[in-house]
Structure 1
C-alpha cells in the first residue's frame, strides 16, 4: 500500500495524517494509547487538530468532535450530501446531482488541472464522451452558482487547451 510516498512499512498514524493533510483540510483527531508528550506534539505537528489519549470518555470525545465541526463551519463551508447543497456564509446553494458530483471531484483535486475527458469519465462514469460540451455546460452552471460564495469557497479556473482547475480559498476549511 502506498499513500503519498509512504510504504506500508513506514505508514503509521503520523505519516498517514501528513498524507491526508496534503489533500484535505478536514479536521483530523488522533485517538491513541500513546500518551507521551512527544507523541502528542508529533501528532499535532503532523497536521492533527486534536490528540486524545486512551482511556477517554465518550462525552469528551463527542465534545471534541463537536468543537472541530463548529470551527470548520465557522471558517469555511458545509457540503450537505443529503440535500445536495453547499452552504457558505448565509447562502445555501442547491446543486443538481451532476453539479454536486462535479464539485466534489473538483474539491478532491485542488490545484490539479483536470481534462474534460477525465471529468466526464470520473463524474459521469460512462467512459469517453461524444462531446466535451456536457462538461463545459455543467462547469458554467456550477460557476454561476458559486459566484455568490466564491470568496468563501474558491474558484474554478479554465486552463486554456488543457481543462479546469479548482483553486480553493486558502483559509477555507470544509465539512463533508
Structure 2
C-alpha cells in the first residue's frame, strides 16, 4: 500500500523515527515541526493521504491545528500523545481526529494503525466502491455511495471518512436499532472494548453536527436509550 503521509511533531528525533519506519513500508513522507508549518505544506500538497499529528507542541496544540486542517482536507488524522486520559481521546475525536496512538509506540503498532486508516480512507474516496450502488435517499438527505458525496437539503456536506462510513451503515440499516458494539465492530473492524463506546459517541455527535438542523433535537439519527442508534 502506498500513500503520502504528513508527520507533524516538534521532536526531530520522533519525526526521523516515524519517517524511517514509514519509508520502509513504501510510503512517501513529508515532515513538519509545527502545526503552522503543516498548514503551509498542506497548501502545497493537496494529495496528502494521512496526517500523523502530535498533540503537545509549542504554539497551537494538535487539537487546535486539527480543526484548521479539517478546513483543508478530509484525510484521516492519527493523533500522537503521551497522555492516556480518556478525555484527551474524546477531545481528539471530537475536533476531527480519526485515531489516537500513545507514546511510546512500537513500529509494528504504528504501521498497523496507518494501514487501517489508509484502507478506510481508500474506501471512502470511492476506490473500492461498487459502481452499481444506488443513491440512498432519506427525505432531504442524499447519500451517493459511488462518489462518496452527501447532500442535505440541496447543500453538500463534507464528512470525514469514518463519519461517512458510519452514516452509510446507519442508512443501509434504516429502521434497525444498532448497538454501539455492532457499529464499532462493523465500521472500525476491531473488537469492542468499554472505551470504544466513546469513539462511537464522538462520531455520532460530529455526524449530527453536519446533517441535523438542530443536533440537540435530531430528526435523522435517533438515540434509543439503552439500546443504540437508528436512522428513521
TM range (shorter): 0.3 to 0.5
Normalising by structure 2, report the TM-score.
0.36
Greater length-normalized contact order (CA 8 Å, ≥ 6 residues apart) = 1
Normalising by structure 1, report the TM-score.
0.46
Structure number with larger C-alpha Rg: 1
